[in-house]
A and B are shown apart, each in its own frame.
Chain A
Protein backbone atom coordinates (compact mmCIF):
# COMPACT_ATOMS: atom_id res chain seq x y z
CA UNK A 1 0.00 0.00 0.00
CA UNK A 2 2.14 2.84 -1.31
CA UNK A 3 0.21 5.97 -0.45
CA UNK A 4 3.35 8.06 -0.88
CA UNK A 5 5.68 7.19 -3.74
CA UNK A 6 9.14 8.37 -4.60
CA UNK A 7 9.87 6.66 -7.86
CA UNK A 8 13.50 7.65 -8.19
CA UNK A 9 15.69 5.74 -5.74
CA UNK A 10 18.69 7.90 -6.60
CA UNK A 11 19.68 11.16 -8.25
CA UNK A 12 23.10 12.61 -9.11
CA UNK A 13 23.56 16.32 -9.67
CA UNK A 14 26.56 18.52 -10.31
CA UNK A 15 27.42 21.04 -7.60
CA UNK A 16 25.81 24.40 -8.28
CA UNK A 17 23.03 22.95 -10.42
CA UNK A 18 19.39 22.39 -9.47
CA UNK A 19 18.26 19.18 -7.76
CA UNK A 20 14.62 18.21 -8.28
CA UNK A 21 13.18 15.44 -6.15
CA UNK A 22 9.70 14.18 -6.90
CA UNK A 23 6.94 12.63 -4.86
CA UNK A 24 3.45 11.37 -5.70
CA UNK A 25 0.61 10.51 -3.37
CA UNK A 26 -2.67 8.69 -3.71
CA UNK A 27 -4.60 9.53 -0.56
CA UNK A 28 -6.84 12.58 -1.04
CA UNK A 29 -7.11 13.01 2.73
CA UNK A 30 -3.50 14.16 2.98
CA UNK A 31 -3.45 17.89 3.61
CA UNK A 32 0.11 18.54 4.69
CA UNK A 33 3.37 17.46 3.13
CA UNK A 34 6.87 17.45 4.53
CA UNK A 35 10.37 16.77 3.30
CA UNK A 36 12.96 15.20 5.53
CA UNK A 37 16.66 14.76 4.96
CA UNK A 38 18.50 11.80 6.41
CA UNK A 39 22.20 11.10 6.75
CA UNK A 40 23.41 7.55 7.50
CA UNK A 41 23.13 6.57 11.18
CA UNK A 42 21.02 9.65 11.97
CA UNK A 43 17.32 10.30 12.29
CA UNK A 44 15.28 12.16 9.66
CA UNK A 45 15.75 15.91 9.89
CA UNK A 46 12.83 18.17 9.02
CA UNK A 47 13.60 20.32 6.01
CA UNK A 48 10.53 22.07 4.66
CA UNK A 49 6.77 21.60 4.51
CA UNK A 50 3.71 22.76 2.64
CA UNK A 51 0.03 22.90 3.40
CA UNK A 52 -2.45 21.72 0.78
CA UNK A 53 -3.90 25.23 0.58
CA UNK A 54 -0.66 26.47 -0.94
CA UNK A 55 1.17 25.55 -4.11
CA UNK A 56 4.63 26.77 -3.19
CA UNK A 57 6.76 27.25 -0.12
CA UNK A 58 10.30 28.56 -0.14
CA UNK A 59 13.03 28.53 2.48
CA UNK A 60 16.44 29.66 1.33
CA UNK A 61 17.79 27.24 -1.25
CA UNK A 62 14.83 24.89 -0.80
CA UNK A 63 11.45 25.24 -2.51
CA UNK A 64 8.59 22.79 -2.40
CA UNK A 65 5.92 22.83 -5.08
CA UNK A 66 2.54 21.16 -4.72
CA UNK A 67 0.21 20.22 -7.57
CA UNK A 68 -2.95 19.00 -5.85
CA UNK A 69 -4.80 18.04 -9.01
CA UNK A 70 -1.92 15.78 -10.03
CA UNK A 71 -1.25 14.66 -6.44
CA UNK A 72 2.37 15.51 -6.99
CA UNK A 73 4.96 17.49 -5.11
CA UNK A 74 8.57 18.29 -5.76
CA UNK A 75 11.51 19.64 -3.81
CA UNK A 76 13.91 21.96 -5.60
CA UNK A 77 17.37 22.64 -4.21
CA UNK A 78 19.19 25.56 -5.84
CA UNK A 79 22.14 25.67 -5.93
CA UNK A 80 23.00 22.13 -4.90
CA UNK A 81 25.95 21.69 -2.57
CA UNK A 82 27.98 18.58 -1.69
CA UNK A 83 26.62 18.79 1.87
CA UNK A 84 23.14 18.22 0.45
CA UNK A 85 24.10 14.63 -0.36
CA UNK A 86 21.70 12.53 1.71
CA UNK A 87 18.49 10.52 1.45
CA UNK A 88 15.42 12.72 1.08
CA UNK A 89 12.06 11.47 2.29
CA UNK A 90 8.71 12.83 1.28
CA UNK A 91 6.06 12.46 4.01
CA UNK A 92 2.37 13.25 4.17
CA UNK A 93 -0.14 13.76 6.94
CA UNK A 94 -3.85 14.35 7.31
CA UNK A 95 -5.47 16.57 9.89
CA UNK A 96 -7.47 13.65 11.17
CA UNK A 97 -6.26 11.36 13.93
CA UNK A 98 -2.83 11.76 15.40
CA UNK A 99 -1.16 13.52 12.45
CA UNK A 100 0.97 10.44 11.85
CA UNK A 101 3.36 10.67 8.94
CA UNK A 102 3.25 8.37 5.93
CA UNK A 103 6.64 8.21 4.26
CA UNK A 104 7.90 7.48 0.79
CA UNK A 105 10.85 5.16 0.28
CA UNK A 106 13.29 8.01 -0.17
CA UNK A 107 15.58 9.31 -2.90
CA UNK A 108 19.33 9.25 -2.41
CA UNK A 109 20.78 12.53 -3.69
CA UNK A 110 24.45 12.70 -4.58
CA UNK A 111 25.86 16.14 -5.33
CA UNK A 112 29.10 15.82 -7.24
CA UNK A 113 31.74 18.52 -6.60
Chain B
Protein backbone atom coordinates (compact mmCIF):
# COMPACT_ATOMS: atom_id res chain seq x y z
CA UNK B 1 0.00 0.00 0.00
CA UNK B 2 1.41 3.42 -0.93
CA UNK B 3 2.55 5.53 1.99
CA UNK B 4 4.08 8.88 2.80
CA UNK B 5 7.69 8.67 3.93
CA UNK B 6 9.73 11.23 5.86
CA UNK B 7 13.42 11.64 6.59
CA UNK B 8 15.13 11.93 8.95
CA UNK B 9 13.10 10.38 11.74
CA UNK B 10 14.93 12.52 14.30
CA UNK B 11 16.96 15.68 13.77
CA UNK B 12 18.90 17.46 16.48
CA UNK B 13 20.17 20.92 15.69
CA UNK B 14 21.52 23.95 17.45
CA UNK B 15 19.55 27.15 17.72
CA UNK B 16 20.14 29.38 14.71
CA UNK B 17 20.99 26.54 12.35
CA UNK B 18 19.08 25.72 9.19
CA UNK B 19 17.26 22.42 8.87
CA UNK B 20 15.58 20.72 5.94
CA UNK B 21 12.93 18.10 6.56
CA UNK B 22 12.16 15.79 3.67
CA UNK B 23 9.01 14.03 2.60
CA UNK B 24 8.04 11.76 -0.26
CA UNK B 25 4.25 12.00 -0.70
CA UNK B 26 2.12 9.26 -2.23
CA UNK B 27 3.00 9.26 -5.91
CA UNK B 28 -0.30 10.18 -7.56
CA UNK B 29 -1.31 12.74 -4.94
CA UNK B 30 -1.57 16.37 -5.92
CA UNK B 31 -1.86 18.28 -2.65
CA UNK B 32 0.82 18.40 0.01
CA UNK B 33 0.83 19.64 3.58
CA UNK B 34 3.06 20.19 6.56
CA UNK B 35 1.74 20.03 10.11
CA UNK B 36 3.52 20.11 13.42
CA UNK B 37 2.77 18.88 16.92
CA UNK B 38 4.54 20.42 19.86
CA UNK B 39 4.79 17.96 22.74
CA UNK B 40 1.50 17.76 24.62
CA UNK B 41 -0.35 20.00 22.16
CA UNK B 42 -2.60 19.43 19.19
CA UNK B 43 -1.52 18.85 15.61
CA UNK B 44 -1.37 22.25 13.86
CA UNK B 45 -1.50 23.13 10.19
CA UNK B 46 1.53 24.93 8.80
CA UNK B 47 1.23 25.10 5.03
CA UNK B 48 -0.38 23.56 1.98
CA UNK B 49 1.16 23.25 -1.47
CA UNK B 50 -0.39 22.60 -4.86
CA UNK B 51 0.78 23.01 -8.42
CA UNK B 52 4.25 24.10 -7.28
CA UNK B 53 3.11 26.91 -5.08
CA UNK B 54 1.84 27.58 -1.59
CA UNK B 55 -1.95 27.56 -1.55
CA UNK B 56 -2.44 28.43 2.10
CA UNK B 57 -0.31 29.00 5.18
CA UNK B 58 -0.96 29.52 8.86
CA UNK B 59 0.34 32.34 11.01
CA UNK B 60 2.95 29.93 12.36
CA UNK B 61 4.50 29.71 8.88
CA UNK B 62 6.51 32.92 8.99
CA UNK B 63 9.49 34.05 6.91
CA UNK B 64 11.75 31.51 8.61
CA UNK B 65 9.87 28.69 6.93
CA UNK B 66 9.84 27.72 3.28
CA UNK B 67 8.65 24.73 1.27
CA UNK B 68 9.79 23.34 -2.01
CA UNK B 69 9.11 20.48 -4.37
CA UNK B 70 12.53 20.25 -6.00
CA UNK B 71 11.67 17.27 -8.19
CA UNK B 72 8.73 15.05 -9.00
CA UNK B 73 8.81 13.15 -5.74
CA UNK B 74 10.31 15.12 -2.83
CA UNK B 75 8.57 17.80 -0.79
CA UNK B 76 10.73 19.70 1.70
CA UNK B 77 10.24 22.03 4.64
CA UNK B 78 13.12 24.35 5.43
CA UNK B 79 13.55 26.29 8.65
CA UNK B 80 16.22 28.93 8.07
CA UNK B 81 17.23 29.81 11.61
CA UNK B 82 15.81 27.42 14.15
CA UNK B 83 14.52 28.55 17.53
CA UNK B 84 14.00 26.52 20.67
CA UNK B 85 10.24 26.73 20.16
CA UNK B 86 10.55 25.01 16.78
CA UNK B 87 11.15 21.75 18.64
CA UNK B 88 8.22 19.53 17.64
CA UNK B 89 7.11 16.58 15.54
CA UNK B 90 6.70 17.64 11.93
CA UNK B 91 4.28 15.65 9.81
CA UNK B 92 3.99 15.69 6.06
CA UNK B 93 0.66 14.73 4.50
CA UNK B 94 -0.72 14.35 1.02
CA UNK B 95 -4.17 14.31 -0.56
CA UNK B 96 -5.12 12.89 -3.91
CA UNK B 97 -7.73 14.96 -5.72
CA UNK B 98 -9.92 18.04 -5.66
CA UNK B 99 -12.88 16.15 -4.24
CA UNK B 100 -11.08 13.98 -1.71
CA UNK B 101 -10.72 15.36 1.80
CA UNK B 102 -8.68 12.50 3.27
CA UNK B 103 -5.07 13.31 3.99
CA UNK B 104 -2.46 10.61 4.51
CA UNK B 105 0.33 11.32 6.94
CA UNK B 106 3.94 10.30 7.13
CA UNK B 107 5.55 8.98 10.31
CA UNK B 108 6.94 12.38 11.22
CA UNK B 109 10.32 13.94 11.93
CA UNK B 110 11.13 14.78 15.51
CA UNK B 111 13.04 18.07 15.51
CA UNK B 112 14.96 18.93 18.65
CA UNK B 113 16.52 22.39 18.83
CA UNK B 114 19.12 22.83 21.57
Binding site for B on A (CB under 8 A): 32, 34, 36, 41-46, 49, 89, 91, 93, 97-106
Interfacial chain A residues near B108, Cβ < 8 Å: 41-43
**Contacting residues of chain B (30-71) with chain A, CB-CB under 8 angstroms:** 31, 33, 35, 41-45, 48, 50, 55-56, 58
> A98-B48, A99-B95, A104-B42 are known contacts; what are 7 more A-B pairs with Cβ within 8 Å?
A34-B102, A42-B107, A46-B102, A91-B43, A100-B45, A101-B103, A103-B42
Which residue in chain A gives the minimum CB-CB distance to B108?
A43
In the bound complex, CA of A97 to CA of B74 (Å): 23
Interfacial chain A residues near B55, Cβ < 8 Å: 97-98
B31 touching A43, Cβ below 8 Å:
no
Other-chain contact of B106, A43, A93, A98 (Cβ < 8 Å): A43
Binding site for A on B (CB under 8 A): 4, 6, 31, 33, 35, 41-45, 48, 50, 55-56, 58, 91, 93, 95, 101-108
B102 touching A45, Cβ below 8 Å:
no
Interfacial chain B residues near A34, Cβ < 8 Å: 101-103
Min CB–CB distance B18 → chain A (angstroms)? 24
In the bound complex, CA of A56 to CA of B31 (Å): 27
In the bound complex, CA of A100 to CA of B41 (Å): 18
Min CB–CB distance B7 → chain A (angstroms)? 13
In the bound complex, CA of A39 to CA of B44 (Å): 18
In the bound complex, CA of A98 to CA of B50 (Å): 9
In the bound complex, CA of A65 to CA of B66 (Å): 38
Min CB–CB distance B100 → chain A (angstroms)? 9
In the bound complex, CA of A43 to CA of B58 (Å): 20
A98 touching B31, Cβ below 8 Å:
yes
Min CB–CB distance A82 → chain B (angstroms)? 22
Q: Given A43-B4, A49-B102, A100–B56 Cβ distance below 8 Å?
A: yes
Interfacial chain B residues near A49, Cβ < 8 Å: 101-102
6 A-B Cβ contacts within 8 A? A43-B91, A43-B93, A44-B43, A89-B42, A99-B48, A99-B103
